[in-house]
Amino acid sequence: MRYLSAEESRNVDWLAKSQGHIMGIVLMENAGRGIVEILLAENLKGKVVICCGRGNNGGDGFVIARHLNAAGVDVQVLLFANPKELMGDACMNHAIIAHSDIPMKVLTSPSAEDLKSIFQDAVWIVDALVGTGQKGSLRTPFDIIVRQINESGVKVLAVDLPSGLNADTGIASDPTIKATITATMVTPKTGFQNPQAQTYLGKLKVVGIGLPKCFMPLS
């Protein structure tokens, strides 16, 4: 199996968009739907809380919320950013959620107690906070959010990689999401080969995003 660095992963996306003429929002839709298939296979019985940041990982989270809702799953979206900061495909998918009846809270400065109260009713939490571009320690409030997710005892699905884990080195910052399942896009990341990363990855699932074979990295 081929492992990709964060830069190589971004390059695959760029090639698909620039040479394959595949719109980014299509790739995001495919990623989100693929992750929903993984979650539905877990026989969901209860609320799924989807934690979204302001980047493309958050955009994936909005797609996940929409498709889970369509499947009859009880979902709640938590957006840890000002909606005005959202851009591109993430902004478009946020708008769909905002104009639906899917519950969504905007929490730019969440307290530990607020998060504890929300997470106690969940059976799964989706970590769609930060992606492969994250370097170094998580900034506030993401460090608070990650600690509360880990302390909740709720099962966690990490989108692409656990927030706080370096995609290239597999080194975990303090704190880092301890996922039950990591649903990574296209191929695993280079850092996943680090034995220390296994504590945080949980069960690894690779999600296809509809790329033609010519844009797939060689094995």
Report the share of the chain in percent with pLDDT over 70: 98
Q: Which residues contact 112 (CB under 8 A, 6 or more apart)?
A: 144, 147, 148
Domain boundaries, the chain: 6-215
Read off φ and ψ for residue 107, nearest 5 degrees: -125, 95
What's the rounded mean pLDDT across residues 137-155?
Answer: 97
Whole-number pLDDT of residue 11:
86
**Domain range 6-215, CATH class:** alpha beta
What pLDDT shows up at residue 135? 82
| Residues contacting residue 193 through CB under 8 Å, at least 6 positions apart | 3, 170
Q: What is the mean pLDDT of residues 128-142?
A: 92
Q: Would you say residue 70 has pLDDT above 80?
A: yes
Q: How far apart are CA 35 and CA 38, in angstroms?
A: 5
pLDDT of residue 12: 85
Please write the tens of the pLDDT for every residue from 158-189: 999 999 999 999 999 999 999 999 999 999 99
